[in-house]
């Protein structure tokens, strides 16, 4: 195998959790923005037909002439589907409603689970991006399987609520399934606790349980529940641009530094 330093250093992370409303899209947008802010070259791939990440980054539907749908149908190379955002260093492959039809349209097509992975090949060789974040839909469908097959690792946002751990069991089963067939090298990049409320003892208890279960896979940084974070998408802005000083922005910046630091360490150990 090639020495690590010769491999293109693009890290593809599938932001996944089959539960809806746990902070996947919020994390994809704001971790993506924060990574760009600390000097990484980031591509966000919106793989949810709802297109919330695209809207939240200020790319309105009428500007989504080319979307991930065209990439998955093999009609457009990924490099041509990427558009710039207001933030230098952060590009986006938008999603639109068509994406919901991909599962049916691909039917039993050859390599239907490898569509995204195949599309990434040119990008990996180009060295254009250092991080790719794929915002997955809230289900374990063909889009999520494509994301996990294309990814180096899964990045898991976890809301601090009562059934958080139960929900993870299903996700881990899917990761095992993908590892067993489509992508044997798939790792868990890390788990980030979202919407943490320090006045609520349940948040603290869940955090403790998750840490005892997943150990150091859980980031030290927790993302607090913060109203600025939930307001920002309606202005088509990442929270870091909407209000850099708020607790949510500062937490995502801290998370970005932790992610980059851990990734450097992982590479050092792997080498």
Q: Which does 194 bind (CB under 5 to 8 A by kind): ligand ADP, Mg ion, none?
A: ligand ADP
- Contact with Mg ion (CB under 5 A): which of 19, 24, 64, 117? 24
Q: How far is the CB of 20 from Mg ion (least distance, A)?
A: 7
113 binds, among Mg ion, ligand ADP, none (CB under 5 to 8 A by kind): none
Measured torsion, CA atoms of residues 200, 194, 264, 182, in degrees rounded to the nearest 10 = 130
User: Residues with Cβ < 8 Å from 215, sequence gap 6 or more?
Assistant: none
Would you tell me how many other CB atoms lie within 10 Å of the CB of residue 125?
A: 10
Pick what 225 binds: ligand ADP, Mg ion, none; C-beta below 5 to 8 Å, kind-dependent. ligand ADP
Residue 77 or residue 224: which is nearer to ligand ADP going by CB? 224
Contact 149, 140 (CB under 8 A): no
The listed partner (Mg ion, ligand ADP, none) that binds 26, CB under 5 to 8 Å by sort, is: ligand ADP
Toward Mg ion, which CB reaches closer, 47 or 255?
A: 47
Beta bridge partners of 128: none
Residues near 46 by beta carbon (within 8 Å), at least 6 away in sequence: 52, 53, 54, 67, 68, 92, 93, 94, 95, 135
Rg of the Cα atoms in the chain: 17
CB of 191 to ligand ADP, least distance (A): 14
CB of 36 to ligand ADP, least distance (A): 18
As measured in angstroms, the least distance from the Cβ of 225 to ligand ADP is 4
> Which residue has the CB atom at the shortest distance from Mg ion?
25
Taking the least distance from each CB to Mg ion, the nearer of 59 and 260 is 59
Q: Binding partner of residue 72 among Mg ion, ligand ADP, none, CB under 5 to 8 Å per kind?
A: none
Where along the sequence are the contacts to ligand ADP (CB under 6 A)? 20-26, 52, 138, 194-195, 223, 225-226, 229-230, 248
Name the minimum Å distance from CB 165 to Mg ion.
21
Q: Does 25 bind Mg ion (CB under 5 A)?
A: yes
- Residues 6+ positions from 98 with CB-CB distance below 8 Å: 49, 67, 69
- 29 or 132: whose CB is closer to ligand ADP? 29
Residues 6+ apart with CB under 8 A from 127: 8, 9, 10
Which H/E stretch holds residue 133? Answer: strand 131-135
* Residues 51-110 interacting with Mg ion (rule: CB under 5 A): 52
For 150: left if phi > 0, alpha if psi spans -120 to 50, otherwise beta; the answer is alpha
CB of 53 to Mg ion, least distance (A): 7
Minimum CB separation of residue 230 from ligand ADP in Å reads 4
Strand order in the sheet with 90-93: 83-84, 90-93, 42-46, 131-135, 11-15, 153-159, 187-194
Which is nearer to Mg ion, 24 or 237 (by Cβ)?
A: 24
| Interface residue list for Mg ion (CB under 5 A) | 24-25, 52
């Amino acid at each position: 195998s090639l020495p690590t330093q010769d491999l293109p250093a693009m890290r593809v992370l599938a932001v996944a959790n089959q539960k809806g409303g746990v902070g996947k899209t919020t994390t994809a947008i704001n971790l993506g923005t924060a990574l760009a802010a600390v000097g990484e070259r980031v591509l966000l791939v919106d793989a949810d037909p709802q297109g919330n990440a695209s809207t939240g980054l200020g790319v309105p539907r009428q500007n989504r002439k080319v979307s991930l749908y065209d990439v998955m149908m093999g009609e457009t190379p990924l490099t041509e589907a990427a558009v710039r955002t207001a933030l230098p260093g952060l590009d986006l492959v938008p999603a639109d409603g068509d994406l919901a039809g991909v599962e049916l349209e691909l039917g039993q097509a050859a390599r239907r689970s490898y569509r995204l992975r195949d599309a990434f090949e040119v990008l990996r060789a180009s060295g254009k991006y250092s991080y790719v974040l794929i915002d997955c839909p809230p289900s374990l469908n063909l889009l999520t399987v494509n994301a996990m097959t294309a990814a180096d690792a899964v990045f898991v946002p976890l809301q601090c609520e009562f059934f958080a751990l139960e929900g993870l069991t299903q996700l881990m089963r899917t990761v095992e399934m993908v590892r067993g067939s489509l992508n044997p090298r798939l790792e868990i990049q890390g788990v980030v606790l979202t919407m943490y409320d320090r006045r609520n003892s349940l948040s603290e208890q869940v955090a403790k349980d998750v840490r005892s279960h997943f150990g150091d896979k859980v980031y030290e940084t927790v993302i607090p529940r913060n109203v600025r974070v939930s307001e920002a998408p309606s202005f088509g802005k990442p929270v870091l641009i909407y209000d850099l000083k708020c607790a949510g922005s500062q937490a995502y910046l801290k998370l970005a530094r932790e992610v980059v630091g851990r990734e450097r360490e992982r590479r050092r150990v792997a080498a």
